[in-house]
Amino acid sequence: MTSMITVRAETLLRWAITVLEKAGASHPAAVATAEALVDANQRGLDSHGVTQLHFYLPGLKAGTMRGAAEPTVETDLPAAAVVDGHHGLGPYVARFAMDLCCSKARSAGAAVVGVRNSTHFGAASCVSEQAAYQNCIGIVVSNSDPGMGPPGALGPILGTNPLAVAAPFRREQPVSLDIATSVAAQSKVVLAAREGRAIPTGWAIGPDGEPTTDPASALAGAMLPMAGHKGFGLAVIIDILAGCLTGSALSPEISNDPAHPAQQRTGHLLIAIAVDRFVTAEHYGSRLERLAHTVHTAPRAPGTDRFLLPGELEASEARQRATEGIPLASASASLLAEIGATHGVPFPP
């Protein structure tokens, strides 16, 4: 068993690129995928970091994720497009689609790109922040394999369908909301199971429909929606936007087994809004600073921490991890060591 270790982001990135290439990914797909996974680790989103390779690599092996696939533009309108991912690696497909979306938004003011036949793209904020760094507000939704049921369900009905919105703010820190529509991402339960930790009450139900704090029981049962009917309703809407509208699978049709012979056919919908086509950059920036000041200085009850904007926790974690490296719990380090041994790329590198 490997013990808890710390790895620098650049080292982890090189290691993940090599593993993905050895598993059959093209160089650009391996780079985009490894960058998305390491970016998630860098920002503290460890449930969507390099341990997701555990899910992606069997997909590459089974051909349900096609490492050499190139996305193509199927419908090309001035402010809209439909991209076919051809079952390529989700982070690569989504990066291609968001670049296209931002380029259209720069000329049309705003643009929408639907993506069909994609696969799991990791943390949605890796895609929405890509827009923010191009001075666009980025909105990203995706469907995912079924993992969530409303209270009273005996199993999952829909995906934990994530939503991310990133708005340009200060140079290296967009305002960035990135959430599953379940109380918490199901990958956090996978991580807890691997690390032998209980999960908080209220996250999930077991296969008997009863609340559980046991991650194994939660994985056999279902995640609960965030904010009850509101989270479930949002997941329905996301399935309409990312599934029905794009020609992709619906979340109940997406297999959670990467080695399953059927393609995932995951769908995403991306929106980019070019800020300076609506108001001047100065107006937008000063209004957003005002909003941030209001949140940060709002009166708070004794013992309450300073209120944060979405994305601030992750930005602070990223600064810390840039200096100290990315900590990997022993169970995650062991998993990466196993992956490394299988692909002839030793871990730790």
Ligand X SMILES: NC(=O)c1ccc[n+]([C@@H]2O[C@H](COP(=O)([O-])OP(=O)(O)OC[C@H]3O[C@@H](n4cnc5c(N)ncnc54)[C@H](O)[C@@H]3O)[C@@H](O)[C@H]2O)c1
> Where does this chain bind ligand X (CB under 6 A)?
45, 48, 120-125, 142, 144, 160, 162, 164, 176-180, 184-185, 188, 308, 310-311, 313-314
Shortest distance (Å) from residue 125 CB to ligand X? 6
Decide whether 221 or 340 has the Cβ nearer to ligand X. Answer: 221
Which tokens sit at 69?
Answer: 């696939």
Decide whether 162 or 206 has the Cβ nearer to ligand X. Answer: 162
Shortest distance (Å) from residue 135 CB to ligand X? 20
DSSP assigned state of 47: G
Decide whether 3 or 304 has the Cβ nearer to ligand X. Answer: 304
Decide whether 45 or 328 has the Cβ nearer to ligand X. Answer: 45
Decide whether 168 or 311 has the Cβ nearer to ligand X. Answer: 311
Question: Are 58 and 90 in contact, with CB atoms under 8 Å apart?
Answer: no
Backbone angles phi, psi at 119, to 5 degrees: -135, 180
Measured between alpha carbons, how far is 185 from 179 in angstroms, rounded to an integer? 8
Shortest distance (Å) from residue 216 CB to ligand X? 19
Decide whether 268 or 343 has the Cβ nearer to ligand X. Answer: 268
C-alpha of 312 from chain center: 17
Shortest distance (Å) from residue 234 CB to ligand X? 12
Shortest distance (Å) from residue 160 CB to ligand X? 4
Q: Residue 114 in 3-state DSSP?
A: strand
How many H helices and E strands in the chain? 11, 14
Please choose, from the candidates 162, 184, 178, 83, the residue with its C-alpha nearest in 3D space to the C-alpha of residue 129. 178
99: number of Cβ within 10 Å: 16
Measured between alpha carbons, how far is 231 from 237 in angstroms, rounded to an integer? 10
Shortest distance (Å) from residue 77 CB to ligand X? 26
